[in-house]
Structure 1
Amino acid sequence: MTDSSNTAALRDRTLVVSGASRGIGLAIAVAAARQGANVVLLAKTAEPHPKLAGTIYTAAEEIEAAGGKAVPVIGDVRKEEDVQRVVDTAVEHFGGVDICVNNASAISTDPTETLSAKKFDLMMDINVRGTFLLTKACVPHLRKSANPHVLTIAPPLNMSPYWLGVHPSYTLSKYGMTLLSLGWAEEFRATEDSAGIGFSCLWPETYIATAAVTSLAAGTELAASSRSPEIMGDAAVAILSRPAADVTAGCFIDAEVLTDAGVSDLSRYGGGDTPIPDLFLDAAEPKQ
């Protein structure tokens, strides 16, 4: 997406992005890099995975090829010392942090009776704890930024019994991310003494062709009806280019963000004529 009024909105601004070695996290990093942003990546993938493309190093190469500056940091968003290290790296290399992107996430939609405690803990630790740790570590530096944002890849709260019941543990972990964002939006809202920090969530309207989709049994077919991660990257940049006060406490849907920004044709992102609606959106709820 190209918006001539905002082509330099992120130039020389510094993003810290979790889970940025591939998928949505990488797409957001690359989209920001096209505007000249600095990106510090936190991810665990240092060596090539037998089933997943890309490492934290190839991701850094893509970011720099797109026009940004990148520093890869190998680490686990669940570990406080790793999270602090990625923030310290951003400050050391670029002088601060302007944007925090909470992208790292784990998913398991197993029914409660078959969901292992290990998978439950993994979702809570990455999705909720990881979001908390990274945001907390960034806040002191975000306070010094002229336009600080925290963007969390989490859905709007939908209290439909269907979404509450279909996979309660995964729903809890993702809504936990959303609730943290909404709570922080109020906690760090602008006052007479503080400029405030903008907290917002972004969620895809449709399935996105990431490893979470392609690794499923019908992954090839599902991917054909999924949009590319680039739609999330472009939507994220559109949000992050705006004044933080204008978007704080917002829970945005990627397609709506781009439509509002003047993008009338979303076919460039793939997915065919009827892409699959994503989780937590009413359009995805099966008819009774």
Structure 2
Amino acid sequence: MGQLAGRTVLITGGTRGIGRAIALRCAQESAQVAVVSRHGDGSAVVNEVRDIGGRCVAIDCDVRDEQQVEAAVARTVGELGGLDVVVNNAAALVLKGTAEISSDEYDTMAGVNTRGAFLVAKHALPHLQRSSNGHVLTLCPKPQLDERWFRANLAYTASKFGAGLLAFGLAAEQRPHGVASNALWPFTTIDTDGLAECSRAELRARPRTTAVLADAALWIITQDSTQFSGNFCIDEIVLREAGVTDFERYSAVPGTPQSALSQDHMVAPEQLARVKELRQQQKEQQL
């Protein structure tokens, strides 16, 4: 019996990349899993979860469409018997400036990254409030009023920071109901299809695998929802504070020094400082 035995986790964007990694990690801890994706074949993830010995349902759903979201939540509850955790992982990425981006591209990012996260949480809340440990986890960075984040990719940044505001606000709103809302973001770039499409070579060079986010997500959603909420988490900080010291296993390029990893471009200054502090502390402890 794992840490999530008897619990049901719904993950948007759950058929590939980070979402798939979180789904499999939850299944390893005995969770029932619903993977939601738009026009994505979820049979591979369903089979992988079954191979682990778990139960999984794949649901075709555009998170921008409220009726589809409502139906996806209802199907999850109907087939798996309840809902305890939502992971808002679905994301749209278009890295363009305001003059270059089309209105359709803007609408897609705003619809998936912000509206979609809101709709999934909205329709999940009645079920999460009945859970003994209800969690919403949104994959988004900490909002920061710093020009450097907006200068090159205004529309994308606004959509992801908007998701962060929703995650923070949901924590305050749902605290009386015992439902936690937290955000999670990687310290480094992550080896996914989205990264492969990125035009910036320095971001693609030395990423970590999706396993680092999956392990961090598991730690967050297994915390007491009445005690751990309203946090903007960084994967490495979460794991180091939880006692993890071996980060070499997360490197997509084996042997990459931790200092040479490709850092994600939306890490807040205080988060960067905390990573450096924890690395130094653990280094001194190992001497």
| TM-score of the aligned structures, taking structure 1 as reference length | 0.87
Q: Which of these residues, 227, 233, 252, is aligned with residue 214 of structure 2?
A: 233
- Cα offset, 1:12, TM superposition: 1.9
- Looking at structure 2, the residues matched to 86 and 233 of structure 1 have their Cα atoms a distance apart, in angstroms, of 22
Q: Which of these residues, 224, 244, 260, is aligned with residue 243 of structure 1?
A: 224
In the TM superposition, what whole-angstrom CA distance separates every residue of 1:36-69 from its partner, at most 9, and x where no partner exists? 00011111234xxxxxxxx311122222223321
Amino acid at match of 1:65: D
In the TM superposition, what whole-angstrom CA distance separates every residue of 1:136-193 from its partner, at most 9, and x where no partner exists? 1100000100000000000012222211323111111001101001111111112xxx
Partner of 2:283 in structure 1?
Answer: none
- Once the two structures are superposed, the pairs formed by residues 24-39 of structure 1 within 5 Å of their partners are 24-39=18-33
- Cα offset, 1:8, TM superposition: 2.4
- Once the two structures are superposed, the pairs formed by residues 115-264 of structure 1 within 5 Å of their partners are 115-190=101-176, 194=177, 196-217=178-199, 223-264=204-245
Structure 1, gaps ≥5 residues long: 1-6, 47-54
- Looking at structure 2, the residues matched to 189 and 71 of structure 1 have their Cα atoms a distance apart, in angstroms, of 29
Structure 2, gaps ≥5 residues long: 273-287
- 4+ aligned runs moved over 6 Å, structure 1: none
In the TM superposition, what whole-angstrom CA distance separates every residue of 1:229-259 from its partner, at most 9, and x where no partner exists? 1111000001111101222100100011111
Identity percentage of aligned residues:
34
Amino acid at match of 1:233: A
Q: Which of these residues, 80, 85, 96, is aligned with residue 99 of structure 1?
A: 85
2:10 is aligned with 1:16: yes
In the TM superposition, what whole-angstrom CA distance separates every residue of 1:92-130 from its partner, at most 9, and x where no partner exists? 122211001100010111011111111101000001110
Indicate if the aligned counterparts of 2:18 and 2:210 stay in contact, CA closer than 8 A. yes
Q: What is the SS of the residue equivalent to 2:165?
A: helix
- Cα offset, 1:223, TM superposition: 4.4
Pair 1:206–1:240, CA change in 2 (3 A)? same
- Cα offset, 1:74, TM superposition: 1.1
C-alpha RMSD of matched pairs (Å) = 1.9
- Cα offset, 1:265, TM superposition: 1.3
- Looking at structure 2, the residues matched to 189 and 69 of structure 1 have their Cα atoms a distance apart, in angstroms, of 30
Indicate if the aligned counterparts of 1:19 and 1:41 stay in contact, CA closer than 8 A. yes
| TM-score of the aligned structures, taking structure 2 as reference length | 0.88
